[in-house]
Amino acid sequence: MTLKIFLDDKSFYSLKQSIPPGSRSKLLLQKAVRLEFFGSNAVITCTEAEARSLLLYAEHCPGVIASVQQSFRSAGLRLESAKKR
């Protein structure tokens, strides 16, 4: 299943700083689509497993956590399974 995670600039850069160099999650950020029409936001397209990995790195990024959780709810996925990892 493909998820779309919408992040504002602050959340995007917070997540970017939280992911260590060499992590596969860095590739997701490089592939993110920037939406400048809507106030410089980014859209990350990823799988459920990749979204869970982002949650691990987003521990100190409340905007990222909220966006990932919203994408899980929109996809009809259980939030509990996303929080356990």
Per-residue pLDDT of the chain (85 residues; tens, 9 = 90+): 899 999 998 999 999 999 998 899 999 898 888 776 656 689 999 999 999 999 999 999 999 999 999 999 999 998 764 444 4
Side-chain-side CA neighbours of 29 within 13 Å: the count stands at 24
Please state the φ and ψ torsions of residue 57, each to the nearest 5 degrees: -80, -20
What pLDDT score does 80 carry? 67
Beta-strand (E) ranges in the chain?
2-7, 33-35, 41-47
